[in-house]
Chain A
Amino acid sequence: MNPDHIREIIDRHEGGKKGGMISILEEIQSHYSYLPEEALKIVAEKTGRSLVDLYGVATFYKAFSLKPRGEHLISVCLGTACHVRGGPRIAEEFERQLEIKAGETTKEGEVSLETVNCLGACALGPIVTVDGHYFSNVTPAKVKEIVHKARVGLDGVNIHTDERIFPIEVACAHCNHSLMDPHYYIDGYPSIKVTVSFEQKHGWVRLSCLYGSFSVEQEYEIPMEAVVNFFCPHCHAELRGALECFTCGAPMVPLSVRGEAGIIQICSRRGCKGHWLDLTG
């Protein structure tokens, strides 16, 4: 660790004046993969905060680690939903195979294992993430393969093997007619076709059916940030739900998911990636 570098980071955040403490810590963490003790002391000294406060923050958030983390991070979800679906057994299996306890790192600094409380995909649990890649419905038998993938590295997203990306088939929530267009492919899968209206213009929009892909094609150019109305091309009913996008506040568009009896909500704002998949129904 280089003390000058830490000071530089602090200066860049205006000396931690405007409550920028967490961003300072985040930057140190992302650079060193952990928060070195010395670094925390420098931050305390330079920003005039007490070391106890910093230490409290650093131990409160799971995103911060006081021990060096490995090159790859495996997070096993032990949130309520994953817990009842067998999360603890999965965590044990990882501990056994990696020969470390949760919260530790393998000797060569290769893989770190941690348990977390909910990764936001409860319906697909037990969930494990490796460097941000999701693995759903994990069983102890799958652990070996996941460990292997983690060691090899999962960085480039490959839509065929990456399990956080999967195709879904959707239908109109009113007439239940399928919205899939088998004649037009996006991302190598049949696209979802809906009608949209924007400033008196009507036209089609085709969306990728891959959950996790945000590719779209459209008849008329819709400016970024514009909120559009969605319609079913079959029954012409407006597709509009009561929910608002968590990210931008625009109305969400509900579509029913075939086969899984669930709902996917997508944000009606062009360019906003707000979405919500609910397969619990």
Chain B
Amino acid sequence: MKHTLVALVENQPGVLQRVANLFSRRGFNIESLTVGHTETDKISRMTIVVDGATTQVEQVIKQLYKLIDVIRVSDVSEDRTVDRELALIKIHCASASNRLEISNLADVFRGRVVDVATDAVIVEVTGTDDKIDSILGMLRPYGIKEMVRTGMISMVRGAQITARGSEARMLEAAG
């Protein structure tokens, strides 16, 4: 099973290196990792997706906690969350009819064409990774020239704050 971990970290130089180092050194496999700013100054948020089948998720969380710059870690896999990823897809497209088809396809996925040239278009789409996989499947026959995905970000639905306090997490880890 895929696990989505949300980590709040101090926005210090080297913090990404520390996290990346930890994963490679302990043999944990990362499926995706994103970092960005948060509502609080000096705190960044990482969303890390790991495969529970190849990596002991509880160890990942405990090891992340040992990094001094990591403030909170939360496994939100069991929570009701909004999950989003952004993809930019450049497609080979020389004819007007193809352009129209691609634009319609993008509409179906609530994406949009953000750049048009004589022989290529760029489609932007956001959604869960499933949704992005699907649109990629549909666009592939046209010839994908280039593609980039941001990796997933997650937020727990409702009033609950996504990354719970470290105290609660430690107690849980202890049994």
Chains A and B bind each other: no
**Residues in chain A within 8 A of chain B (CB atoms):** none
**Residues in chain B within 8 A of chain A (CB atoms):** none
